[in-house]
Structures are given as structure tokens and as C-alpha cells.
Amino acid sequence: MVIDKLLEKIIELKNPSVVGLDPKLDFVPAHILKEMFEAHGGHNSKAAAEAILKFNMEIIDEIYDIVPAVKPQVAMYEMFGPDGFGAYLKTVEYAKSKGMFVIVDVKRGDIASTGEAYAKAFLGKVKIGDEENTVFDADFATINPYLGQDSIEPFIDECKANDKGLFILVKTSNAGSGMLQDILSDGKPIYEIVGSYVESWGAEMRGKHGFSPIGAVVGATHKEQAKRLREIMPHTFMLVPGYGAQGGTAEDLSVCFNSEGLGAIVNSSRGIIAAYKNKYKNDFTPQEHGKAARAAAIEMRDDIMGHIK
């Protein structure tokens, strides 16, 4: 089961973290941009997409042996149209060739045939004539539960059929999340109710480590809420954004892990991929952006491992 495979990779590497590949052009070193603008005829989507791809590949080359997974945010690729989607596909393919898991951050969610189409595109197979084709080939995908259970079921069906996983938005890390997620219904905040549903949706799919591939997104920026959600969802694996640049600390997010030190994978995006411009700007050149990402990933790993059992 995919959740067991991910957990075993985390245990092997002693690293419950995922690197978010959210490559704004501002993060891409000037020498890569210059090379691609010259190679592809100026400031166009093809040049931007190829620059992002090269940037990603150089980071993956430096982190694949210490980090179990990457999480590309599809919006950062979609904005460059078909060329951007091509860069996304090649990034996924390259990460998998290095033995990494891929969590695709798409936050999809819709009903009926539209929901089925999203689910097949990112987690399943699309039938064309007599052939079944894998399209976006993620191991896990993030989805939005706002439309209710019938928007979730197509994704769960594809998880069962293709050994894939989900991370369903429960308590997100952004500052405005409470506007809807903290509303009380029968005395309970909405995020607790959603968390209970997520736990139940995965009840029949638990792997040997006790966790289901039907996981939850729980922000590191909300410690007390995360602690409560771990109580409500003891068998739900958590994707934890908000570490680092958004203000979440390793101490805050430690409540997402169980007594065995399992149960969550923590995301950092710009804190890793833009480390050469920020945290390590005096230690690494732009040509060494991948090495800066590795140093930041090691520091993150050690920080988290120092706060969980």
C-alpha cells in the first residue's frame, strides 16, 4: 500500500519531510533564466517552463537521497500553459526516476463526471479507445472537501484501484483559514467535523503501520487545533504545511506525530528551494542553489527529528 511505502521511506531516511517544488521565476537563478531565454527565443512560456524544469532537476539531484518526497504545486506550472504542464510532467517523471514519492498539490474537488475526470487524471488512468493511459501520475493528490462526500468518492475509488493516496484539506495553514474552518456547528468547529469524516473515509484502508492513504492537510501554524485533530484522527496520515516561512515551528508541528514518531510529513517550499537567496545567501552562489537546498533540507530534517519521539 502506498502509505506504507511512503512511511518506510521516511523511516529509512529518518526524515518526515517533503520539499515543495513551487518554483516562481523569482526563485530561479539568473544564469538559468538567461540560458533558457537565449535558447528559446526570448521571454516566453517555453523558456520559463524549461528554466523551471532545470531548476527543479538540479534541486532533485541534491536532495533525492535525503528527502522522501516532493510536492509540486500545479498552479506554478499551469500559469505557463502547455509548456508549464510539460515541465510539471517532466519534473514528476524525474523525481520518480530518483526514487522519490510525488504529492501533487492540486486542491481539486468537484462532483459527478467532473470529479471523476479530475480523479482519473491525477490518480488513475484515462481510457482512450482500448488503451488505458496514465496522465499526471502522482502518488498522492491534495483535494478540497467543500462539495461534500460525492466529490470525495471518485478520488477514493481511484486510490483503491491504483494504490494511490489523498490529502484532504482539513485545517489549512493560511492566516484566513478560520473564516470558514473554525465556524461552530453543533458546538464543534467545521475542521473537527471534516477531520472526523476523513478518519472514517479511510477506516477500511489502513496499512500495516496503522495509517490510511486517505490523509489530511493540517497546518503547522495551528498547534492546538493540530493536537486536537491528532486525537480525532489517530489513523490519518497528515501533510503538514506552514513550517518555516509561514511561521510554523518543529515544536508546533510535533503534535501531528503519534507516540512512535510517525503519522505526518512536513512540507517546506521556498524555505528549501530559495535557500540560496535567503537563509544561505552568504554561503552558496546561485550556481550552487541545489547545494543550498540540500543544506536547508538537512537543517529542516534535524530540526523536526529533534522534536518528535
Domains of the chain: 2-305 (3.20.20.70)
**Averaged confidence pLDDT in the chain:** 95
pLDDT score at 10: 98
> Is pLDDT of 214 > 80?
yes
CA 263 to CA 209: how far, in whole Å? 9
> Band of the pLDDT at 215, cuts 50, 70, 90?
very high
Least Cα distance to 255 among 272, 238, 277 occurs for 238
Please state, for a pLDDT cut of 70, what percent of the chain lies above it.
100
The least confident of 36-40, 46-50, 71-75, 174-178 is 174-178
pTM here?
0.95
> Band of the pLDDT at 19, cuts 50, 70, 90?
very high
Higher-confidence residue: 133 or 299? Answer: 299
- Concerning whether 107 is annotated as a catalytic residue, the answer is yes
> Is pLDDT of 302 > 80?
yes
Catalytic residue, chosen from 54, 90, 96, 107, is 107
- Contact residues for 26 (Cβ-Cβ < 8 A; gap 6+): none
Cell of 209: 503501520
Provide the sign of the torsion angle of the four alpha carbons 106, 110, 114, 119, taken in this order: positive
- Contact residues for 215 (Cβ-Cβ < 8 A; gap 6+): 3, 140, 165, 166, 167, 168, 198, 202, 236, 237, 238, 239
Average pLDDT over residues 41-55: 97
pLDDT score at 283: 93
pLDDT score at 136: 85
Coil vs helix vs strand at 108: strand
Higher-confidence residue: 11 or 177? Answer: 11
Cell of 52: 523551471
CA 132 to CA 109: how far, in whole Å? 23
pLDDT score at 203: 94
